[in-house]
Amino acid sequence: MTEAKAWLKNDRMRRAHPLHLRTAARWVTTGRSARPSTLPHPPVARFLALVLLLAAFAPVQAAEPTQPLLDSGGAAGVAALRAAEDERPVVKDDPTTVARALRPDLPTLYIAGDSTAEPAKEKATLRGWGTDIGTFFDPEKINVVCRAIGGRSARTFITEGRWDRILAALKPGDFVLVQFGHNDAGDYRDPKAKGRPSIHGEGDETAEAVRSDLQTMETIHTFGWYLRKYANDAKARGAIPILLSKIPHQDWQDGRIVRQDDQETFIRWTRNAAAATGALFVDANEIISLGYERLGPQQVEPLFADRRTHTSAAGARYNAAAIIAGFKGLRPNPLAPYFSSRAGDLPASLQVPSVPAVGSD
């Protein structure tokens, strides 16, 4: 069997040379080969050869071409790459290897969030807006460090020590973007929730719940409490916190994105946390939802890599642009001096009117 595995790894077989295809075909039908010294057990040989034949004629996916901020229909191949609907795996990473500011002498924009913001892994079909947000900033003026990671909630990003690592690096003049909500949904008492949900609300009530390791207990707080903690901790270190409402789902009803439940819960709690702490607030959910509605379902479909939650490469670029549009609408906008020229060229569907910066003096 070891010889068979080595033979399968041979580059010439990967390229499916006609001679090897004939050999594979002979294995499928007879279990015999003209090369008995490398022949595995006949039944195994037939199975492996059949796999080789199928792989040889399988279509090869072309590399994704460079696309503009909004692909209005050119991402037709995205549908074929869709991941299982709404999977929210807890991404495992090495806590000692985290993104760091490249220029310590410059201010840094840190991002705390979940998979909807997480930078894309190599060859990944799911892509968060944190992958592309840095292209809207001038690297000679500011660092952009995205610490968002899949499967985390406002609660577990803190309990796993990820927030502490950001705090340890914060200095006066830095910025922190905080966006949670997707993994805070669900019942914290439900074992299937993987120890992620917070208490739904914004008060100071607490409860005892199982940690995300599913072994130990912890005292948990409301979603609003966690958002206030992010903002207050950042301000205590001289940084500027910016709270973002959660990215919308691709749920349509009568030509509009459904968002009533989120508006009455996680979005409202995020907005109120910003107002209570003096943090800035950007309603990314509303900006993106309005943009989707201007585009319509057909143009929005390629922006998602699963049915309703996670974005494709085109969708990540669009959401990053939407968040920039939200920053540009703030008055005052403390990030304006750090924008790159690209921030001046946003999709027309994302142009938003100027709004007072919640929490600004």
pLDDT band at residue 351 using 50, 70 and 90 as cut-offs: low
Q: Which amino acid, residue 169? A: A
Q: Which residues, other chains included, contact 181 with Cβ-Cβ below 8 Å and sequence gap of 6+?
A: 154, 223, 245, 246, 262, 266, 267, 270
Q: Does residue 360 surpass a pLDDT of 80?
A: no
pLDDT at 121: 72
Q: Which residues pair with 241 in a beta bridge?
A: 176
Q: Which residue has the higher pLDDT, 2 or 248?
A: 248
pLDDT tens, 87-106? 444 444 433 334 566 788 99
Look at residue 279 in the predicted model and tell me its pLDDT.
Answer: 97
Q: Choose among 139, 99, 105: nearest CA to 117.
A: 99
Question: What average pLDDT does range 128-143 have in this prediction?
Answer: 94
Please say if the pLDDT value at position 278 is more than 50: yes
Determine whether 258 is exposed, middle or buried from the number of CB atoms within 10 Å of its CB (0-12, 13-18, 19+). Answer: middle
pLDDT at 25 over 80: no
> What is the pLDDT averaged over residues 287-303?
91
Question: What is the spatial distance between Cα 1 and Cα 5, in angstroms, rounded to a whole number?
Answer: 6
Percent of residues in the chain assigned helix, strand, coil, to nearest 5? 40, 10, 45
In the structure encoding, which two tokens stand for residue 223, read together?
Answer: 């979603």
Across the range 235-246, mean pLDDT stands at 97
Q: Which domains does the chain carry? A: 2-56 (no CATH), 87-356 (3.40.50.1110)
Confidence of residue 116 (pLDDT cuts 50, 70, 90): confident
220: left (phi over 0), alpha (psi -120 to 50) or beta: beta
Of 332 and 53, the one with more pLDDT: 332
Judge contact between 166 and 147, C-beta under 8 A.
Answer: yes
Q: Of 24-28, 203-207, 218-222, 318-322, which gets the smallest average pLDDT?
A: 24-28
Reference 38, options 69, 68, 79, 9; nearest CA is 9
pLDDT at 20 over 60: no
Confidence at 357, pLDDT banded by 50, 70, 90: very low
Q: What radius of gyration, in Å, describes the C-alpha atoms of the chain? A: 25
Sheet strands (E) in 67-186:
108-113, 143-146, 175-179
